[in-house]
Structure 1
């Protein structure tokens, strides 16, 4: 095989990995679209402009904290409260990044930073599952950057595009939750949870987070249940890890 043919075959392999990432993410994307529209509609109803929402979703790219921020949004906004809640909700990314770290250590920093910026719950779950599967099958390297970026970029572009569309359609949609779109948010995470299920013992931090979030939702006004659930899950995971270490 000539050098040109070798390069062409390598390029085709890289492109096929990217396409594989997009294809594996496609079912999740259809679940993402409804609650992206809900977020966009809710943001305009809270007084954000379309440009402001696009900037929020493009730079933050973390749906849970964006929903929390929108729920807490007032005029003028309570900036410190929103920042604190956003940090707590997004703090799960510390654990997600740590889980990916063994697969990223051999990549150049520019690729690592790109992978972490575009990391969301869905792309993280798909990338980690694929890396573990490839490692079990003896694939080297286990982590496929092209596959991961195919899934991550598909999620990013879909999220930013449809939250923007939701903002534009907000006045027409009215209360988007009346259509049941908000249930798609929970449905997507239940699917991801099913794919990562490793038994009851490993799910204990999730259960603690669920109980604390539910109790806070029932007895504390506002969106504090999001922060309470996230913090409870992190503390629970740390305490259980210490007991098992």
Structure 2
């Protein structure tokens, strides 16, 4: 059996950049909205990229902007951010088997840059590489995706913060549909059939129910727990 030819690190990095370009189209308006809302709340052009650069996780960033006030409710923001970002624990656990061979100096930056989009693209790429008989995880591909998303997100949100104070209510522009559209595309790439998708459905129903009946970000852990429990019992039945 002939061994597949491995692409160079530079080729893999460029492939990551190329593959994430459609995602960026959906991210740009959302990053602008985040920056604009932050600017209208009083966040400076320095504070916005500091927040998005140190806490690279869109959902908790929007929660932070929503809570931004003077005096700053630091403990509340930290608590809500932690609650929303707990999903990264599960994402990291799913990725761990494929990166455990890497040295810690490479693993930590990779996990810092991990977002829903880069994680989903990495997992989809792992399945493609498995079918092609290639090493399952390409760090260079992952970095091409993650670094591109990171730079675009931070810069665009900073631009939004700069122009935010002179604009009106951007929520009325309808850009909010961009992010859900991106996630639908990502889910389509991970689709394996209805039975494997049952945890997604359980997570969606639980998160929607809690979102409609309670205040705060409790819908995030509720959806996560429902998905995990469904996957656990589904695995036992398999």
TM-score (norm 1): 0.87
What is residue 192 of structure 1 aligned with on the other side?
186
2:71 to 68, 76, 80: 76
**How does 1:74-223 map onto structure 2 within 5 Å?**
74-139=69-134, 141-221=135-215
User: Partner of 2:228 in structure 1?
Assistant: 238
Q: Does 1:49 align with 2:39?
A: no
- Mapped to 2, the partners of 1:200 and 1:80 lie a distance apart of 41
Question: Is the CA contact 2:203–2:227 (under 8 Å) kept in the aligned structure 1?
Answer: no
Higher helix share: 1
* 8 A contact 1:46–1:73 mirrored in 2: yes
CA distance in 2, matches of 1:70, 1:204: 33
Say if 1:48 and 1:203 are closer, same or farther in 2 by CA, change over 3 A: same
Q: CA deviation at 1:130?
A: 0.8
**Deviation sequence 1:34-91 (CA, Å, 0-9, x none):** 0000000001111211211110000000001101121222322332222122112111
Residue 212 of structure 1 and its aligned partner are, at CA, apart by 3.9
For residues 175 and 76 of structure 1, do their structure 2 counterparts lie closer, same or farther at Cα, with a shift above 3 Å needed? same
Deviations 1:185-214 (A, max 9, x none): 211111112212233443344334433443
| TM-score, normalised with respect to structure 2 | 0.89
**Structure 1 residues 33, 155: CA separation in 2 closer, same or farther (over 3 Å shift)?**
same
- What SS does the aligned partner of 2:188 have? helix
Q: For residue 196 of structure 2, give the secondary structure of its aligned residue in structure 1.
A: helix
Return closer, same or farther for 1:228/1:202 CA change in 2, 3 Å cut-off.
farther
User: How far apart are residue 238 of structure 1 and its match?
Assistant: 3.2
Q: Distance in 2 between matches of 1:23 and 1:65?
A: 27
Flag the 1:174–1:33 CA change in 2: closer, same or farther, 3 A. same
Q: Structure 1 residues 201 and 76 mapped into 2: Cα distance closer, same or farther (>3 Å)? A: farther
| Distance in 1 of aligned mates of 2:198 and 2:82 | 23
Alpha carbon RMSD of aligned pairs, Å? 1.9
* Kept in 2: contact 1:205–1:234 (CA 8 A): no
Q: Is the 8 A contact 1:212 1:228 kept in 2?
A: no
**8 Å contact from structure 2 (residues 206, 226) kept in 1:** no
Equivalent position of 2:61 in the other structure: 66
Q: 1:199 to 1:87 in 2, by over 3 A?
A: farther
Structure 1 residue runs of 5 or longer lacking an equivalent are 1-9
Counterpart in 1 of 2:3? none
User: Do the aligned residues in 1 keep the contact of 2:202 with 2:227 (CA within 8 Å)?
Assistant: no
